[in-house]
Amino acid sequence: MKITQTPLVILNFKTYLESTGEKALQLARALEQVAEETGVNMVAAPQGADLWRLSQEVKIPVLAQHIDPVDAGGHTGSMLIECAKEAGASGTLINHSEQRMQLADIDTVISKVTAADMISVVCTNNVETSAAAAALKPDFVAIEPPELIGSGIPVSQAEPEIVEGSVAAIKDINPNVRVLCGAGISTGDDMKAALELGSEGVLLASGIILASDPKQALLDLVSKI
């Protein structure tokens, strides 16, 4: 399932208990409902063990959180691109700040994802890494300064120059790469600001997952666009 329309909301389930197993399914259904009610594209990125179930139970795209730069064979504990695709994943996050990768490995995984006709979302932390990532031709680059992740302080307000600078650098290198904004995003004002800075959507996690009412938090998130 290709992602062609923006604005886009990707919810990274991480490894919270609130987004694990049965609760992962409830969260994915909330994303699906909000997508249907608002017309905003919603994407779930659950843990690997939940990929198959979610891909079968909801109609929104589902992404892996990580793919390893390995071929099939003796790589115990690794996440194989072929396995993720068979499990129903439409693509994957790459190089999240909690799962950093070497540049050569990022390139390898992007190539594998592209060959599998899946979606690549490369996470970066500043203008320079955003530009480097854009040269590798992913579908999306998501800008996330690690010090703001989970802080409740949105990058779109705390460090808008990183978003603006990254958008400019990415588009200069490869205008086909779409830019997402992450780190601290949780409210309608945050998402509105992110879009005004030139991004085409957001990558977020705890602000929605740990909310008392995740569906309402998602509705609030897209209420001002």
Which residues have CB under 8 Å from 160's CB, separation 6+? 193, 197
Q: Once rounded to an integer, what is the mean pLDDT over residues 42-47?
A: 98
**pLDDT value, residue 225:** 82
- Report CA-CA distances (Å) from 225 to 46, 163, 173, 195, 196: 25, 18, 28, 9, 10
Residue 144 is a catalytic residue: yes
Residue 14 assigned to a binding site = yes
Distance CA 6, CA 201 (A): 7
Q: Once rounded to an integer, what is the mean pLDDT over residues 44-51?
A: 98
CA nearest 87: which of 117, 61, 137, 53? Answer: 53
> Where are the domains positioned within the chain?
8-221
**pLDDT value, residue 147:** 63
Residue 140 assigned to a binding site = no
**pLDDT value, residue 1:** 60
Q: Which of the pair, 158 or 114, is modelled with greater confidence?
A: 114
CA dihedral 166, 91, 51, 209 (to 10 degrees): 20
Percentage of the chain modeled with pLDDT above 70: 91
**Range of lowest pLDDT (75-79, 121-125, 167-171, 184-188):** 184-188
Flag whether pLDDT at 159 surpasses 90.
Answer: no
Cis status, amide bond into 69, omega within 30 of 0 = no
Residue 75 is a catalytic residue: no
Convert the pLDDT of each residue in 67-88 to its tens digit.
999 999 999 999 999 999 999 9
The whole-chain average pLDDT of the chain stands at: 90
**Alpha helix segments (H runs only) across the chain:** 22-38, 51-57, 81-86, 103-115, 127-134, 155-158, 160-173, 188-196, 206-209, 214-221
Burial class (CB in 10 A: 0-12, 13-18, 19+), 5: exposed
Token pair listed for 216: 């309402």
**pLDDT value, residue 125:** 86
Residues 96, 147, 196, 200: which is the catalytic one?
96
Tokens 């031709």 correspond to 137
**pLDDT value, residue 152:** 63
Residue 97 assigned to a binding site = no
Residues 18, 144, 161, 196: which is the catalytic one?
144
- Report CA-CA distances (Å) from 41 to 11, 44, 58, 93, 221: 11, 10, 13, 17, 12
Q: CATH for 8-221, among 3.30.470.10, 3.30.70.100, 3.40.1480.10, 3.20.20.70?
A: 3.20.20.70
Convert the pLDDT of each residue in 124-141 to its tens digit.
988 888 999 999 999 999
Q: Once rounded to an integer, what is the mean pLDDT over residues 168-192?
A: 87
